[in-house]
Amino acid sequence: MQDLVKIILKSGKDQSAKRFHPWVFSGAVKKMHGQPAEGDLVAVYSNQDELLGIGHYQQSSIAVRIISFHEATIDRDFWYGKISNAIAYRRTTGLLSDESTNAYRLIHAEGDEMPGLIVDFYNGILVMQMHSIGMYQNRELFAGIFKELLGDAITTIYVKSSSTLPAAFRDTAEDTFLLGNQQSVEVQEYGHHFAIDVVEGQKTGFFIDQRDNRKLLAQYARDKKVLNMFGYTGAFSIYALHAGAREVYTVDSSQKAIELTDKNIALNFNSDVNHHGVVADAFKYLQELPDDFDLIILDPPAFAKHHNVLPNALQGYKRLNQRALEKIKSGGLLFTFSCSQVVSKENFRKSVFAAAANTGRSVKILHEMSQPVDHPVNIYHPESEYLKGLVVYVV
Ligand code: SAH
């Protein structure tokens, strides 16, 4: 094993690592034999001197993100193995051979035992987004491994971490191309077409994680009047229109998002499609909404990024859902989501419950929704299940 700074945990604080949870909180650290630099590999030990894992050190509330729970040399072969495993997993799911889809996630951080690293693939463009400095420092190494494993299937590699790394590193971590320089591309998702701009777009360029929920929506959209609230690229709207929706409204507070929606509508349909793009605030728009919508989608940005704002976030979900539940037509369907990692499935369901109770309407749960297979949930890290949603039927 390499010569690494040793970090000893307080007694009793080793349980989480023993159960393979990859986060070591700074409060669990008893002492460090030396001072690791930000992003350095460190070895984590229990107070009884048992090796718990090896991970990336960072001066933050999560002090170490464990990448191996066993003795290991962390070199190119180690990362090659991890990335190969992640690709093999996706091959097993059938995703990589589905000809109707060429946008997917190849590395889902803790879900792929690579905490701090997100890698998305958009029809030839690979976008790497790092959330830890340790992962960021390996960007060239990862780019080389992906190139070796995927060959000509990738023409561009873009590193987009300036807004996701800890604040102290953002200025130095300029977003850059490590291979090629293609900024935009058209992708297909279950045969639907989308224009992606990896530089200008939100996150890595697209919300790939809603793929299966959009497909589910299509099952219910025929002949419906649909409101797609927080629409961004208009992806839910495009599925609804393909599935025969009567009329679709896409609403987003960002002008750029609605422009992107219009572009995507034009990619998929001819000019007589019954779609309206609206730039508006969700809460205001819902307040004035007519009561003849058959299907409403609520896919807001994360209301809580931290535990300390959880109560406010839950109130936010309640208020938002209440407005939609008040307005939706009798016999209508609501697709409602939360992508906040700190909001549990139970808490989200309780918020929708409280919203429903305030309206006094009859509300039934048809489906519980989650994230697709390329966003795997690590069983030891329940936080990797961040996307949750409900389809409810309202009378
Ligand atoms: N449903 C989308 C993803 C939504 S991301 C998809 O399938 O791809 C969240 C979107 O909410 C962003 O585009 C953001 O501009 C928008 N947004 C944020 N706050 C808003 C508000 N108060 N009212 C309306 N839209 C808002």
Check if 387 has its Cβ closer than 6 Å to any atom of ligand 1: no
- Whole-number mean pLDDT of the chain? 96
Q: Which of 230, 263, 337, 371 to mutate to test the pocket of ligand 1 (most atoms within 8 A of CB)?
A: 230
With 90 as the cut, is the pLDDT of residue 307 above it? no
Nearest CA to ligand 1 atom 20: 253
Q: Could you identify the atom of ligand 1 that is nearest to the CA of residue 228?
A: 1
Cβ of residue 252 lying under 6 Å from some atom of ligand 1 = yes
Domain spans, the chain: 5-68, 76-188, 207-394
236 ligand 1 Cβ < 6 A: yes
Instruction: Give residue 1's pLDDT.
Output: 63
Q: Which of 247, 253, 241 has the alpha carbon at shortest distance from 278? A: 253
Pocket flag, ligand 1, residue 212 (CB < 6 Å): no
What percentage of residues in the chain have a pLDDT greater than 90? Answer: 94
Distance 348 CA to ligand 1 centre (A): 18
pLDDT band (50, 70, 90) for residue 308: confident
Q: From the centroid of its chain, how far is CA 311?
A: 22
Per-residue pLDDT, 270: 87
- 254 close to ligand 1 (CB < 6 Angstrom): yes
In this predicted structure, what is the pLDDT of residue 384?
Answer: 87
pLDDT for residue 172: 86
Query: What are the respective helix, strand and coil percentages of the chain, to the nearest 5?
Result: 35, 30, 40
Query: What superfamily does domain 5-68 belong to in CATH?
Result: PUA domain (2.30.130.10)
pLDDT of residue 316: 95
What region does 307 belong to: left with phi over 0, alpha with psi -120 to 50, or beta? Answer: alpha
* Ordered alpha helix ranges (H), the chain: 15-18, 76-93, 133-136, 139-150, 167-170, 211-220, 235-242, 255-268, 282-287, 310-327, 345-359
Overall average pLDDT of the 280-307 stretch: 94
Considering the four listed CATH numbers 3.30.70.1050, 3.30.750.80, 3.40.50.300, 3.40.50.12780, the one that applies to the domain covering 76-188 is: 3.30.750.80
CA 245 to chain centre: 27
pLDDT in tens, 239-280: 999 999 999 999 999 999 999 999 999 999 988 899 999 999
In the reported structure, the alpha carbon of residue 73 is separated from the centroid of ligand 1 by a whole-number distance in angstroms of 43
Sheet with strand 29-33: strands edge to edge: 23-25, 62-68, 51-57, 41-45, 5-9, 29-33
Check residue 340 and give its pLDDT.
Answer: 93
pLDDT band at 2 (very low <50, low <70, confident <90, very high): confident
CA distances from 212 to 144, 189, 389 (A): 31, 10, 12
Residue 3 has pLDDT above 90, yes or no: no
For domain 207-394, give the fold.
Rossmann fold (3.40.50)
Terminal-to-terminal C-alpha distance of the chain: 63
Q: For residue range 181-223, what is the model confidence (pLDDT) as tens digits?
A: 999 999 999 999 999 999 999 999 999 999 999 999 999 999 9
How confident is the model at residue 272, as a pLDDT? 87
Percent of the chain with pLDDT over 70: 100
Ligand 1 center to residue 310 CA distance, Å?
19
* 139-181 residue pLDDT tens: 999 999 999 999 999 999 999 999 999 988 988 899 999 999 9
Asked whether the CA dihedral 335, 339, 340, 341 is positive or negative, the reply is positive
Mean pLDDT of 365-378: 97
**C-alpha of residue 300 to centroid of ligand 1, in Å:** 5
Once rounded to an integer, what is the mean pLDDT over residues 307-330? 95
Q: What's the whole-model pTM score?
A: 0.95
